[in-house]
Amino acid sequence: MPAAASTPRTRVRRAPKRGVYDRAQIHAILDEALVCHVGFVHEAQPYVIPTLHARVAAVVYLHGSTASRMVRTLASGAPCSLTVTLLDGIVLARSAFHHSANYRSVTILGRATVVASDDERLRALRAFTDHLVPGRWEHVRPPDRKEMKATQVLALALDEASAKIRTGPPVDDEEDMQRDVWAGEIPLALRAAQPRPDPQLSAGIAVPEHVSAWSASARDDPQRSSLAR
């Protein structure tokens, strides 16, 4: 597997210095992101749909109802895009023009394929579950035959992918540097709150260790929540 996953279509053209093509960094961003957006065209209308994803090696899996418009369109072999974005901060400059954001994003282009093997489909569904909270699969009922039949799993290879990353302080024009205007960064992070039990939870069932540990790590340091994936 090549270390880079870019093609001419996924080369970053606007602010090219922010383009990243290293697979390890692309994988890390995909693994930390909990939600992706899938773009496709259905009956001449463009759509961008938020959904869950999971990466295994150099493949990103998607899943949904067999009746889903997105799933049916992608299963037909239609071209698609998949993007994730992690917003790390707001960047406040001395001029309105140079305000920005610090972020890490990934864009993937390609055509998804239907996962036909029951073994691979089950592995993908396990990956979805453990992507939300590592170790969760071992504590829950796996999908039964009816649920498996109602669920379509799609695989999108990371053959055409790139990341775009911005970090650091604002980049102001030289003539603005002496203005009496505060400039800097406001860091942002997705943090977990205390786990909230289902009101119908049976008495005596405590929060399991894999949930409490993940929740605590995501409260103390949000980026740590992805380390176990």
Q: pLDDT tens across 12-56, in order?
A: 888 889 999 999 999 999 999 999 999 999 999 999 999 999 999
Q: Which two tokens stand for residue 66?
A: 């067999």
The pLDDT tens digits for 88-130 are 999 999 999 999 999 999 999 999 999 999 999 999 999 999 9
Amino acid type, 78: A
How does pLDDT run across 172-195, given as a tens digit for each residue? 999 999 999 999 999 999 999 999
- Confidence band, pLDDT 50/70/90 cuts, at residue 217: confident
Confirm or reject CATH 2.30.110.10 for domain 8-188, answering yes or no. Answer: yes
What are the residue ranges spanned by the domains of the chain?
8-188, 191-229
For residue 7, the model assigns a pLDDT of: 81
Contact present, 88 and 167 (Cβ < 8 Å): yes
Tell me, what's the pLDDT at 218?
A: 79
> Of all residues in the chain, what percent are helix, strand and coil, respectively (each to 5)?
30, 30, 35
Instruction: Identify the band that residue 2 occupies on the pLDDT scale cut at 50, 70 and 90.
Output: low
